Amino acid sequence: MNVSGNVALVTGGASGLGEATCRRLASLGAKVAVVDNNITPAEQVANEIGGEAIQCDVTDQASVAAAFSSAEKALGHAPRIVVSCAGIGHAARIVGREGKLSIDLFEQVLRVNLFGSYNVMSYGAQGMMTQEPDASGERGIVINTSSVAWQDGQLGQSAYAASKGAIASLCLPAAREFSQSAIRVMAIAPGLFRTPMMEGLPEDVTTKIAANVPFPARLGEAEEFALMIEQIIANPYLNGTTIRLDGAVRLPPR
């Protein structure tokens, strides 16, 4: 699929991997909806790239539906490119100190990471089905964000790993379902990336984390994630799978 001239909707677009994706797609000629629950930084990104900022709570179906409607009205047609980067990474043991349970946190993480991605994919695919196929025969593509924690979740990451594992598992059946509508579904499982979440850690901790990456021995850059988004969109034979983008890292137990 050609990025140029198409509408792209990116959740979590105000910062980190989502922001880099918005900037990359805009530089390639896409009309970008910068979707985020935090509207002020979303507006800043949108103003800088000539896109449209839209506030959205991905856990709320009505909010997601409104976001897609707003994107279509503002940018001319339903998005053919939908990227879900909105997510949270709260950590907790299943049974913590003094027997404290983390069931509420588990539900919150799955609601944002998994249900949020599912909501966005659902409305995105629904809109793509109304589009005529492009020159390559495609109607659109959905790219969800998993994590290497899907396969090597660390202690305290049960909720996060479960949510990201579900996103990876969702990829193939969704791609099979939407194949009849010429819509592809992919997922990226990023490793250790330089994002606002990671930048909040002390420098010595960041250095120790980066030392676990075989090559390149550093944190990934958000622009490299955005490059992977571009490459997936461009390659029509990528469908129904999850790509690890991680410098060959495998996370230790803790």
Residues catalogued as catalytic: 160
Sign of CA dihedral 9, 226, 125, 76: positive
Please give the structure tokens belonging to residue 135: 């020159």
| Per-residue 3-state assignment (H helix, E strand, C coil) for the chain | CCCCCCEEEEECCCCHHHHHHHHHHHHCCCEEEEEECCHHHHHHHHHHHCCEEEECCCCCHHHHHHHHHHHHHHHCCCCCEEEECCCCCCCCCCECHHHCECHHHHHHHHHHHHHHHHHHHHHHHHHHCCCCCCCCCCCEEEEEECCCHHHHCCCCCHHHHHHHHHHHHHHHHHHHHHHHHCEEEEEEEECCECCHHHHCCCHHHHHHHHCCCCCCCCCECHHHHHHHHHHHHHCCCCCCCEEEECCCCCCCCC
Q: Which of 129, 111, 105, 143 is nearest to 11 (CA)?
A: 143
